[in-house]
Every structure is written in structure tokens, then in C-alpha cells.
Amino acid sequence: MRINKYIADAGICSRRKADELISNGNVKINGLTVKELGVDVAEGDVVEVNGSVIEAGRRKVYVAVNKPAGVITSMDDDRERETVADIVADIPERLFPVGRLDYNTTGLLIMTNDGQLTYTLTHPKHEVYKTYVAKVEGVLSGARAAKLRRGVDIGGFVTSPARVKVLKQMPRYAVVEISIREGKNRQVRKMFAAVGNKVRELKRTQIGEIRLGRLKEGHYRKLTREEIEYLKSL
């Protein structure tokens, strides 16, 4: 395995960053500093980064983040905006978001360095119900709720059955819980738009059995062993 991949798999940093560490002389294989990029690590080799021995793929980290509005679901942003990476910055492993939430959507996002799990969870075959609470303009009538449940056309794509519950109806707005299995771009916003209700606020509260609970915006918590096992069983 390439040395930069080995370092990235150990959750130390990205491959690109690993190349920098190597060029700067911060990496040793079997006690000898390597400065060339593209060197391979063989079974049994001892790799050190900044003097500490690392092991590829050893520690897997799984966290639930409560993403605030105005934060990007990506690991870096060329416009220097806040990203979810900033929320988990004190975790040494490099974590990646599982799926994404829009810039203005808040709530539950799972982040991990377990590439296999990320792949499984985002694969359409395994899509679990994701639950959102939406504050929408106007009245969400019974007929509109029924349409959302059956499926609506969001521009060349008809959504599959959804679970919809009106939690509160006020004269000018409604608070609606909606669960969907797919993850098309801006899907919930487009679904409400398709029945004539503009989404004002959107928060994800649940992914399968994983709940946001009382986690505060901008904070994270480690998933429990039961939660990790549940995700792996999907």
C-alpha cells in the first residue's frame, strides 16, 4: 500500500496532507526517514508520523453532529466558510460526513472514518428512513399531506412513499414531520414546493434508529456501541 494511503487510512490526515508530511521529513518507515512520495508500505513495516507509530485502519470513529445552519457539509471550502470539519476539529482522525445536509439545513449528520460504512449507508439499496422536521409556509392540508405520502414529482423524479405527520398548524405556517428513504438533492424542500408550501426551516432529527436527541447545535457526540452495531447491520 502507498505510504500516503496508509497514513490516511490510519485517520491521521488526507493523502494530500500525508504527502506534505513525507516531503517535510516527518515520516519514518522502519526507523528511516522517507522523503520520496509513492513509496510502498509492506506487511510488518513500522510507520511513524511525527515520532508516533501509526497503524492503518486501526481506530474507527463514529460521531453524530448537530449541524447548524450556515455550515457546509464538506471537509474544506474554497470560500473559507465554516464546515462540519470545524465541529469535529478536536478529533485527531479525519472524519467524513455520511451523506449531506444543505447549507441552511440543521440537525443530525453522521461522521466517520469508516469508509465501508459510509459506502453502505449512502448506497441507494440500503437507504434508511431519514426524518426531518420542517417549518413550512401556509397550511398543509390533508390533501397535500396525502400527496406527499404517495409521492410527488420534483422535476423529473417521482418520490417514493413518505411518512408525513403535521405536528402543528398555525394560521400562517405548519410544522411537519416527514420521513423519506431517498436522498435527492434538496429533496424535502422540493417535495413541499411541489405541493405549494415553501420550507422556512428544516432540521434532520433521525437517521434510521439514530436520533439527534438533545445534542446542541454545533456539537457532536460519539455514537454508542449499540448505534454503531445497528448501522453496520443495515
**What is the set of active-site residues?**
102
What does the alpha-carbon distance between residue 210 and residue 204 come to, in Å, rounded to a whole number?
Answer: 11
What does the alpha-carbon distance between residue 203 and residue 96 come to, in Å, rounded to a whole number?
Answer: 20
Instruction: Output the smallest distance, CB 13 to ligand URA, in A.
Output: 28
β-strands 199-207, 106-112: how paired? parallel
Instruction: Output the smallest distance, CB 230 to ligand URA, in A.
Output: 21
Q: Give me the residues that bind ligand URA (CB under 6 A), please.
A: 101-102, 105, 186-189, 202
Instruction: Output the smallest distance, CB 107 to ligand URA, in A.
Output: 8
Whose Cβ is closer to ligand URA: residue 138's or residue 183's? 183
3-state secondary structure (DSSP) of residue 234: coil
Q: What's the full length of the chain, in residues?
A: 234
Which 8-state DSSP code applies to residue 37?
A: T
Whose Cβ is closer to ligand URA: residue 56's or residue 69's? 69
Instruction: Output the smallest distance, CB 101 to ligand URA, in A.
Output: 4
Whose Cβ is closer to ligand URA: residue 94's or residue 130's? 130
What distance lies between CA 200 and its chain's CA centroid? Answer: 22
3-state secondary structure (DSSP) of residue 89: coil
Terminal alpha carbon distance of the chain:
29
Whose Cβ is closer to ligand URA: residue 34's or residue 162's? 162
Which 8-state DSSP code applies to residue 16?
A: H
Contacts of 37 (CB under 8 A, 6+ apart): 3, 4, 19, 22, 23
